[in-house]
Amino acid sequence: MEQPRLSIIIATYNAASTLEACLASVMAQEFDAWELLIADGGSTDGTLELIERYSPTLSWWQSKTDAGIYDAWNQALAHANGEYVAFLGADDAWHTPSTLREIFNTVGHRQYDLITGRGVLRDRRGRGHEFGNPWNYSKVARRMTICHPGALHRRELFERHGLFDIRYRISADYDFLLRLPPGIRSLHVPYPLVDIADGGISRRRRLAMLGERYHIQARCPRIGATRAALNLLDKLWRIPVAKVLGIPN
């Protein structure tokens, strides 16, 4: 089989209420050079039955206890064959059926290490807020600047710079990005790639997420504990101000 351009990895756990919409957004894509991998953490709510129904379209899947989303991603990565890898949450969806076609039309035959775009964070009423900036080696040392769901990583990045560190339960994707060198080839497409349901773990456990990012930055040789503490303080005062002003943050 010809190498797929993209491996799409989804980690699930008791996600029967949202997973089908996510899978439908993959199946609806007008671009078909992808493979789909699902790592389920041993769901008991009907997720497994849904995965089995879609199994003819999956290149790999499993359902067993894991150590969290990043452990699931690492296990799936061992079976990924795509030129690029993208990670979707079970409650995420590609923004439109033309999303992947538009991305790869833009990429053409050029080679990039990281391709980023915009995300649309949707609340329970369906209202959306766009976020996600281009990759910037300097700015990512201060905060998470890109929209990670839907971002395309050249698969060799994980061979060169390691897998996700499963010590972190919320921000191992940020830890991975901090390991990337300054000279990576990046592309930013300035339009939405994914719709993301507000209420993910990084939103529900905001203080725990900030604590993890402090430890990640403190352990990063180019940041260190002092700068990490200043970054944390800067974020902490912005959260209540943004809430008062009604600014998404």
> Using one digit for the tens of pLDDT, what is the confidence trace for 97-110?
999 999 999 999 99
The answer to whether position 77 is within a domain reads yes
Question: Which H helix or E strand runs over 134?
Answer: none
Does 202 score more than 60 pLDDT? no
Give the percent of the chain with pLDDT over 70. 92
Q: 144 in a domain, yes or no?
A: yes
Nearest to 150 by CA among 96, 204, 78: 96
Between 141 and 124, the higher pLDDT residue: 141
For the chain, the domain total comes to: 2
194 with 211, same domain: the answer is no
Any idea what the CATH number is for the domain that residue 102 is in?
3.90.550.10
| pLDDT, position 198 | 78
Residue 32 resides in a domain: yes
Does some domain include residue 19? Answer: yes
Q: Is residue 18 scored above 80 in pLDDT?
A: yes
Full residue range of the structural domain in which residue 112 is found: 6-199
- For residue 184, the model assigns a pLDDT of 97
Is residue 245's pLDDT more than 60?
Answer: no
Q: Number of helices (H) and strands (E), helices first, in the chain?
A: 9, 9
Q: Are residues 16 and 98 in the same domain?
A: yes
Please tell me whether residues 73 and 160 are part of one structural domain.
Answer: yes
Q: Does 149 share its domain with 62?
A: yes
Same domain, yes or no: 189 and 213: no
Residues 154 and 223 in one domain: no
Averaged pLDDT for residues 3-14 = 97
Contact call for residues 178 and 114 (beta carbons, < 8 A): no
Are residues 215 and 193 part of one domain? Answer: no
Domain end, chosen from 199, 221, 238, is at: 199
Domain identity same for 168 and 209: no
Quote the pLDDT of residue 182: 95
For residue 89, is pLDDT > 80?
yes
Mean pLDDT of 199-207: 62
CA atoms within 13 A on the CB side of 76: 33
Q: Does 123 lie in the same domain as 84?
A: yes
Check whether residue 40 and residue 160 sit in a common domain.
yes
Compute the Cα dihedral for 34, 35, 39, 45 and give only its sign. positive
Rounded Cα distance, 139 and 69, in Å: 26
Residue 2: predicted pLDDT:
82
Q: How confident is the model at residue 64 (pLDDT cuts 50, 70, 90)?
A: very high
212 vs 138: CA distance, rounded Å: 20
In a domain, 1, yes or no: no
199 sits in which H/E element: none
Same domain, 153 and 246: no
pLDDT higher than 60, residue 211 = yes
How does DSSP classify residue 28? T
What is the pLDDT, as a whole number, of residue 246? 59
Q: Which residue has the higher pLDDT, 26 or 199?
A: 26
Residue among 166, 167, 162 nearest 178 (CA):
162
How would residue 201 be classed by pLDDT, with cut points 50, 70 and 90? low
- Within a domain: 40: yes
For 142, the token pair is: 């201060």
What is the structure's pLDDT at 235? 83
In three-state secondary structure terms, 146 is coil
d(CA 108, CA 102): 10
Give the position of tokens 């991603």: 73
pLDDT at 1: 56
Report the alpha-carbon distance of residue 114 to residue 108 in Å, rounded: 14
Do residues 95 and 211 share a domain?
Answer: no
The answer to pTM > 0.95 is no
